[in-house]
A and B are shown apart, each in its own frame.
Chain A
Amino acid sequence: AQSVAQPEDQVNVAEGNPLTVKCTYSVSGNPYLFWYVQYPNRGLQFLLKYITGDNLVKGSYGFEAEFNKSQTSFHLKKPSALVSDSALYFCAVRDRMDSSYKLIFGSGTRLLVRP
């Protein structure tokens, strides 16, 4: 069965400092991996995805994520945090071998960037 773990309920970082939001996954085969962001009272917005190829993927708003197959991780990173990055972040996974159309989301990590 597919699963996603986001071990931190909340991450606090000062503006200008680097940030990392952690995600680990479990699938039978190879994964498709995604990050989404949710601002207050809004729907989720796509940030970036890993499908194949380069393990470092770049996305919207200066975010990037590194796919690490040996550690089954897909951590979200940004070199310099902004107060406007404060939001709820979700990691999602799908097993390429899964014949269904299900995308499994993690429980979310709240990012708080203080001025």
Chain B
Amino acid sequence: NAGVTQTPKFQVLKTGQSMTLQCAQDMNHEYMSWYRQDPGMGLRLIHYSVGAGITDQGEVPNGYNVSRSTTEDFPLRLLSAAPSQTSVYFCASRSMRQGVWTGELFFGEGSRLTVL
């Protein structure tokens, strides 16, 4: 039972480079999201999606793009990486079938990104 799978686990980029963090879930969850975790700031929502073809911005969307072409996948793209994007990124998903907001989030194990 894979749950939420993130790749890569570690990545080092130079300023200005682009990359995509991959996220896949096998639980048929409608809702998927990306968070970044920074010391002393907890988790902050970057982007989220409530189904294929539907995405929306979270608290800190600038510098990131997302798309949702399938239920299973929700990639996060950094078009031009900056040192301020050095962080640990978490993908999370949940079922929306239980109700509007009562279900628990399932998290991937994280992707640690360093931008030099």
Contact = CB atoms under 8 A, between A and B. Distances in A.
Given A32-B101, A34-B104, A101-B101, A41 B42 contact: no
B84 interface: no
- Max chain B Cβ within 10 angstroms of own Cβ: one of A32, A43, A100: A43
Contacts of A106: 42
Contacts of B35: 105
B8 interface: no
Interface stretch (A12-20, A44-52, A66-74, A77-85): A44-52
Contacts of A96: 101
Interface residues of A, number: 26
Chain B interface: which size bin?
20 to 34
Task: Provide the main secondary structure of the chain B interface.
Answer: strand
Interface in B1-43: 4, 31, 35, 40-43
Contact of A45 (B42, B45, B102, B107): B107
Given A9-B40, A108-B42, 17 more contacts: A4-B42, A32-B102, A34-B104, A36-B105, A41-B109, A43-B90, A44-B90, A46-B106, A101-B50, A101-B56, A102-B48, A102-B58, A102-B59, A103-B45, A103-B105, A105-B43, A106-B42
Interface of A: 4, 6, 9, 32, 34, 36, 41-46, 49, 51, 90, 94, 96, 100-108
Interface of B: 4, 31, 35, 40-45, 48, 50, 56, 58-59, 90, 92, 101-102, 104-110
